A and B are shown apart, each in its own frame.
Chain A
């Protein structure tokens, strides 16, 4: 949605209401607002070109004058616009207004009901003509819009470090969160640099530099990993689960946890496992329940795990069914095995007591489980080891035949090319050598390299994506960006990271812009594991998935919601999105599908029989299960709910914002909220919302949001199917503003599928915003439509949309800014 439009819509709404009273025909403002919106004319019949041409432009204008000037005249200027000065022969002059007209008329929102409107055929013909004319004009005079210098956000920074240095440590967590705009955290204009951030860049570059070159602290330090736990049960211990806790643990394991630990040296380390004490302080992590092994570890990223063998699950039967209060263990503890793993391989089987006993009150409600894993070390350092990072950095070693400075230059040239994403020159290397020389002085070669590496990681050439204009390019002129610049745009779009050698190589040969080469690269990049970034960063924000981690459903209302279920919901949607992208499926799968991805935990939540174990698999969906598409997924249904109840408004707004790109105007300022009734739940949500819609100011938007939300009321606040709640049956019937009746999620899916072109355009708008790292403007709309036409002709395939964006005018071109 255009920011311009979004800002003014409410004003438009109010003014339109006022203006409508001018029509004697209007019965009430509410009736006026229930304008027909269902039938869309978005699917421009391009084949109609000849028919279109037969209508003179003067008649187009005549139509506007006849049906629009009651409100949009020079005097009233409803919604800030008048159609009177518009020239149908010269759309360029008022391009933004024409785009707005196209959008509102296509959506069926204009002219308002109650006002006279032209016959449907004439309207469709008009929108087809307008879209085609605007598109033709854009093609003749491309406007790629503004592209400003852009700082990497923290996710991109961490990914770039991973790809540059083969160092797969989540450094994003070390950086402050980035500001967002237009729904994404990669928006160039919003990403500022503060002293706090600069301070972090320097500190974190030091950590990375030392770690990657094998010069981390030699001091013994303790690294803790707290195993994620469900909420404590308030004096009854920490729940354990009869499940494999992580993909990094053995298949026949139960409980425990695993984490990535970066061993700074080839050395000896002590792995400490803290078990639950189950005392009256459930969060207690104490030495009495600490068990440890000392093992040698190779330098680099290690997976450290601790778990129990699965056959101990039998003991779960001993857990009492009712929790009547703290209780001493019924019997003395028995010895049970606890396995410690490194990189998935058991390094030691420890024997631990089955329950904790001690001076504090101990309980036996839950099985033993792991609260925390710590690694203490390094001891007896053997050396920096042969890590992937050191191999990647030290591409040469000084020798009798290779002087140190020559080798250093070679190393920096290699690093800087990847980090700066372009060929490097002597001017890039000389200052790095200066830093190298300073540090080399009181230390060794590796320290010198490390200092230079730190400098690269803080330099603006690394941190900022910037593009050059051709020499003497006049401000406002347009040019195709260089292949090198295209490589960076492409890799940050698809990978949220720097280009790899293969991409840089074709770019340096100036081949990347060739359509066949570009397509091959896009295909290759989407198949690469790094394209998971598109799921995590684009889908994570488009679908609000990132919010799931912070969603804390009320355990009293949803006792079966736990960390495992939450993780499963997240995985389902990620796999679903990832599958549509990589398998090049239809984007319409997002609206409805006969498959999804579940493990046992999630299958039980959905009532899907026959799925066992913690691994995910693709399952075919029976329509009776009421799942399929994004709107049947627990993740989406949970993030659009409050912690203790569903929200018709949040869900309705989510659909309008993210699926239809038709966001409702924001609520007017200072409208008092409704009194939801003395008894909260006794007054159903539906009754409350009915009251809401009785107020014409509220109704103007809620008639659009509420029906979409109501149709999903069969899903509770964690996405579980329900037929009733609070003693009442769920009523999932709904009526659209145009009077179309539908019922439940399947009804909603039908409605959405009937607007599939609108959805594809909405998806394209979101994806293009993300790809361009800026908000879309009216002059971008022809590019959005071009992507849609292309997708429609290719069965709505996801890669068509992605490739369409990559080849679009705003993505491949640049306008020289005004100075």
Chain B
């Protein structure tokens, strides 16, 4: 089926949002203009973009290494930004392999993507992974912004059954873990993201936003006390749940303080209509979520964001690009050329979303530079060839002004992905001794 893509779709979408609530009124939430420019220069950000079900590696991996390498078919959509990104080959998540746990590669590879740990095989009773890289960064940067991190995605979690054999859906619903036992599920509804960023008040002016937040603060006082009262009467394991609750309360209280301390000058944000819900079309949804993440970065509401274009074992089909087949079964292509061609189409569509993100970030000015210049982007999948659930040689790109682009780096065989993660965090000024199964910094990263 041929479906012509129409520019109209986007316009219709915006119309459909109803109340066009322009957004340029974020005074209290952003530092003063002059201070803002100075602060912006020092600002660094982390963005993770994740695609599910691995990658057709023969169409992904560039044939040559080093600078000025030839782009592969799947990377083609990123061509305009080739100076801004580098391809890393050969990195592996060996901890995502079975290691005696049997089936469930999708559950493990998603839980392990940013934690580099061998997640515990369980349907629910004792979910355990590790602190994820984005959350290590968020713990540092979170002190500086209203929200420590955003976790957004495009696909609803599996509604029924298990997500991957023996693994709770908690492992496939997010990349982000604030502790080894606290997953941070993604939000897929653009309106929820919008309200998280800008509130749900009648108007988005600073005063009413502040009034709304102050009222929330008094409610939070109350619920914190209620939680403490409750926790006196319950056992240790139950206390853990209430601690989680209290931690979340504190996070929001901190945010309210931040807003109250904020300056008074406005940074002009583009008019952006309040989304009404989840758009039907994949691409409209994806673009909207990317726009919101760019807005969040621009307004400095957060500096850490992770974006899941799909969930592992995603069964999404993409009839709009001629792929009516479900993604996951296709990914077990069995070397069937037709399946490989379709799978590649999906891979390319997903890379187009990464390209759209880079486009938006590079177009958005921050001082003399662009947002992208102050951002580190990690994009990729947590499987290489999905047919074999291969956890080695993962498709990985790193983009943004904080690294040297236009090169294809080939790591030594079986180099832990975690080594790249340590090097990336170094660039952000977050120095960790180790993460997951890391064995050191990635050699060749600095170039």
Contact = CB atoms under 8 A, between A and B. Distances in A.
A541 B189 CA distance: 22
A351 interface: no
A643 B388 CA distance: 23
B169 A180 contact: yes
A190 B182 CA distance: 10
A198 B17 CA distance: 25
Which of A174, A196, A205, A676 gathers the greatest number of chain B CB atoms within 10 Å? A196
Interface string B223-251: 10111011001111110011011011101
A666 B102 contact: yes
Contact of B159 (A197, A455, A547): A547
B252 A195 contact: yes
A36 interface: no
A460 B123 contact: no
Contact of B252 (A199, A224, A374, A672): A199
A315 to B, nearest CB: 26
Interface string B18-39: 1100000000000000000000
Contacts of A219: 202-203
A189 B215 contact: no
Given A3-B123, A194-B185, A552-B317, A179 B159 contact: no
Contacts of B162: 180-183
Interface in B136-177: 147-148, 151, 156-163, 165-166, 168-170, 173
Given A224-B16, A458-B219, A176 B226 contact: no
B2 A234 contact: yes
Interface string A658-702: 000000001111101111101010000000000000000000000
Interface stretch (A45-53, A129-137, A398-406, A432-440): A432-440
Given A222-B19, A547-B159, A673-B387, A202 B216 contact: yes
Given A221-B18, A643-B325, A775-B125, A183 B160 contact: yes
Contact of A644 (B16, B98, B126, B324): B324
B446 interface: no
A672 B388 contact: yes
Contacts of B227: 460
A725 interface: no
Contacts of A432: 222
Given A193-B248, A195-B148, A196-B185, A11 B102 contact: yes
A552 B319 contact: yes
A515 interface: no
A593 interface: no
Contacts of A458: 219-220, 223
Nearest to A642: B326
B324 A643 contact: yes
A185 B169 CA distance: 10
A571 interface: no
Contact of B103 (A669, A672, A774): A669
Given A198-B248, A206-B212, A285-B15, A193 B202 contact: no
Interface string B181-213: 011111111001001100110110000000010
A194 B251 CA distance: 10
A6 B387 CA distance: 24
Contacts of A189: 124-127
A190 B196 contact: no
Contacts of B242: 149, 460, 464
B156 A550 contact: yes
Interface in A702-742: none
Contacts of A221: 18-19
Contact of A669 (B17, B105, B123, B248): B105
B124 A148 contact: no
Contact of B332 (A203, A666, A673, A816): A673
A interface bracket (residues with beta carbon within 8 Å of B): 35 or more
B239 to A, nearest CB: 9
Given A283-B12, A284-B8, A670-B389, A554 B173 contact: no
Nearest to A777: B125
Interface stretch (B71-79, B333-341, B407-415): B333-341
Nearest to B239: A149
A434 B222 contact: yes
Contacts of B325: 642-644
Interface residues of B, number: 104
Interface string A583-613: 0000000000000000000000000000000
A660 to B, nearest CB: 15
B42 interface: no
B276 interface: yes
A372 interface: yes
Contacts of B447: none
A431 B222 contact: yes
A643 B203 CA distance: 44
B296 to A, nearest CB: 13
A203 to B, nearest CB: 5
A545 B230 CA distance: 37
A192 B182 contact: yes
Contact of B245 (A431, A460, A544): A460
A576 interface: no
Contacts of B19: 221-222
Contacts of B105: 669-670
Contacts of B148: 195
Given A149-B238, A180-B157, A672-B387, A643 B326 contact: yes
Contacts of B196: 196, 199-200, 203
A198 B245 contact: yes
A226 B276 CA distance: 11
A684 B221 CA distance: 65
Interface string B125-137: 1110000000000
Contacts of B165: 666-667
A668 B334 contact: no
A397 interface: no
Interface string A533-548: 0000000110011110
A817 B235 contact: yes
A7 B104 CA distance: 11
Contact of A174 (B1, B125, B192): B192
Interface in A196-223: 196-200, 202-203, 205-207, 217, 219, 221-223
Interface in B78-128: 97-98, 102-105, 121-127
Contacts of B251: 195, 198
A817 B222 contact: no
Interface in A409-464: 427, 431-432, 434-435, 438-439, 451, 454-455, 458-461, 463-464
Contacts of B166: 3, 6-7, 666
Contact of B223 (A180, A196, A459): A459
Contacts of A514: none
- List the 4 shortest-distance A-B pairs measured between CB atoms, nearest first: A181-B124, A666-B165, A666-B103, A198-B248
Given A177-B156, A181-B169, 8 more contacts: A11-B102, A198-B248, A234-B2, A283-B9, A468-B234, A643-B325, A643-B326, A673-B334
8 contacts: A3-B166, A179-B170, A181-B168, A193-B244, A195-B248, A234-B2, A468-B233, A642-B329
Interface of B: 1-4, 6, 8-9, 12, 15-19, 97-98, 102-105, 121-127, 147-148, 151, 156-163, 165-166, 168-170, 173, 178, 182-189, 192, 195-196, 199-200, 202-203, 212, 215-216, 218-220, 222-223, 225-227, 229-230, 233-238, 241-242, 244-245, 247-249, 251-252, 276, 315, 317, 319, 324-326, 329, 332-336, 338, 387-389
Interface of A: 3, 6-7, 10-11, 148-149, 151, 173-174, 176-183, 185, 187, 189-190, 192-200, 202-203, 205-207, 217, 219, 221-224, 226, 231, 234-235, 281, 283-286, 372, 374, 427, 431-432, 434-435, 438-439, 451, 454-455, 458-461, 463-464, 466, 468-469, 540-541, 544-547, 550, 552, 554-557, 642-644, 657, 666-670, 672-676, 678, 680, 774-775, 816-817, 819
